[in-house]
Amino acid sequence: MRERALIAGQFPARRSLFLEALPGLAIPPKQALGIIERATPRPVTPVYTELSQILQVHLHRALTGQEGSQSALAAANEEVTALLDSIHPRNAVPSRANPWIWRGAILLLALGALIALLLRRARRRRRPTAPPGSSALHEAGLAWSLVAPALACIALTAAFPLAWTAWESLHRRDLRTPWLGAPFVGLANYLELLSSPRFWGALGRTAFFTGMSVVLELGLGLVLALGLNRAFRGRGLARAAVLLPWAVPTVVAAIIWRFMFDSRAGIAHAALADLGVVEPTFVWFVDAAGAWVPVILADVWKTTPFVALLLLAGLQSIDESLYEAAKVDGAGALSQLVYITLPLLRPALLVALLFRTLDSFRVFDLIYVLTGGGPGTATEPVSLLTFSTLLEHLRFGLGSALSMVVFGVSFLVAVLYLRVLGAELTGRAE
């Protein structure tokens, strides 16, 4: 048994062998024996993976200075206790729902139906009436019949999953504890999110990432588009080369940037260390603030060409005679940019802003591969928290509520941008 332990490099199964010298082990045998004698077995619980993640998150936050050791221990104890209480049979949610939950849900549905009815009536009032004897009704019926197949596909692929997710978010469905069933809990999952510091932290980090990346991408994309819009030799080749980062898969780009900022062999880390920006021993991915640098740079590097392409299309739609007239009037390059280019480029800027804001708010794969949301939860966005809740912890009710929150915020942002864009286009048409 001693020879087997030496060959395999593992601890032996006999206690007496721990008192001997066993070279090649990661921990000295006597020290390992003390750890084993004081160890306790893992608790028999279906939520052990989530318990382990809670402990790891707060341990990493304490080690990286995001919170004190005592506060991290207290927060971990509170979350672990709440999780164990939620699956205990005595504390389980009863299958019979609270009548006030039903009344609240019915009230929300009634308010939604009333708002939809008012919007429909307002739209009908603004719609011009068809003159007698016209074929407007026939044309409207033909139009609806032509788009009906597309609407049916949208309903099957988008509307039905969305409605099902909304319905699931009103239940406490946990695949780890099927014996508890899936009782209707109304807005309890949303209330749990509103009382969760981790959710608000993820939402704040998502907003920070969205703001930083979108601002940098719009600024650099505009500069790049202005340069590519000029006439020079090899312009077509330059336009094709600029799009190469956009063509790289996000996972591949994340791995490349992780290697570049590796503290041992990363070229970006070595360059910044030589310039004196950071210490040679600085580790980017264990620092709460430093981990954001490769994340934001990787996103800006990959998606700036897409923004430049959208803005370049808008620049090419501007009439060159406007610039010629401005030159005749003595306007310089800066005046042409401020008074001609930017006002006429506003629709393209709004479209690029809409696309990039929605994509940045729903970021997942880049951060999942690059940092995994760490250290601790320093770079964890809402989408990564949703993934962890749904697919790692199998809490389908709470995960569905998170998904609906992401959808709701994205929908509101899209509606706001589209209203601004519609008003801009209407003003230009008038």
Q: 139-179, pLDDT tens digit by residue?
A: 777 777 888 888 788 778 888 888 899 999 999 999 888 88
| Cβ-based neighbours of 261, under 8 Å, separated by 6 or more | 268, 269, 284, 285, 293, 294
Long-range contact pairs involving 214-220 (C-beta distance under 8 Å, separation at least 24)? 214/353, 214/356, 214/357, 214/360, 216/296, 216/300, 216/304, 217/299, 217/300, 217/303, 217/304, 217/307, 217/356, 218/307, 218/349, 218/352, 218/353, 218/356, 220/300, 220/304, 220/307, 220/308
Residue ranges covered by each domain of the chain = 1-39, 196-429
Q: 70-107, pLDDT tens digit by residue?
A: 998 998 888 888 888 877 655 444 444 445 445 545 65
What CA–CA distance (Å, rounded) separates 343 from 424? Answer: 10
For the record, the structure tokens of 389 come out as: 């809740």
Q: 24-79, pLDDT tens digit by residue?
A: 566 777 777 777 777 777 777 888 888 888 888 888 888 888 888 899 899 888 88
CA distances 414 to 309, 329, 360, Å, are: 21, 40, 13
Superfamily of domain 196-429, CATH level 4:
MetI-like (1.10.3720.10)
pLDDT confidence of residue 100? 45
- With contact defined as beta carbons under 8 Å apart, do 289 and 330 qualify? no
What CA–CA distance (Å, rounded) separates 81 from 45? Answer: 13
For the record, the structure tokens of 29 come out as: 């045998």
Q: 391-407, pLDDT tens digit by residue?
A: 989 999 999 999 999 98
**What proportion of the chain, given as a percentage, has pLDDT over 90?**
34
What CA–CA distance (Å, rounded) separates 363 from 302? Answer: 13
What CA–CA distance (Å, rounded) separates 376 from 354? Answer: 31
pLDDT confidence of residue 167? 93
- With contact defined as beta carbons under 8 Å apart, do 1 and 14 qualify? yes
Q: 413-423, pLDDT tens digit by residue?
A: 888 877 776 66
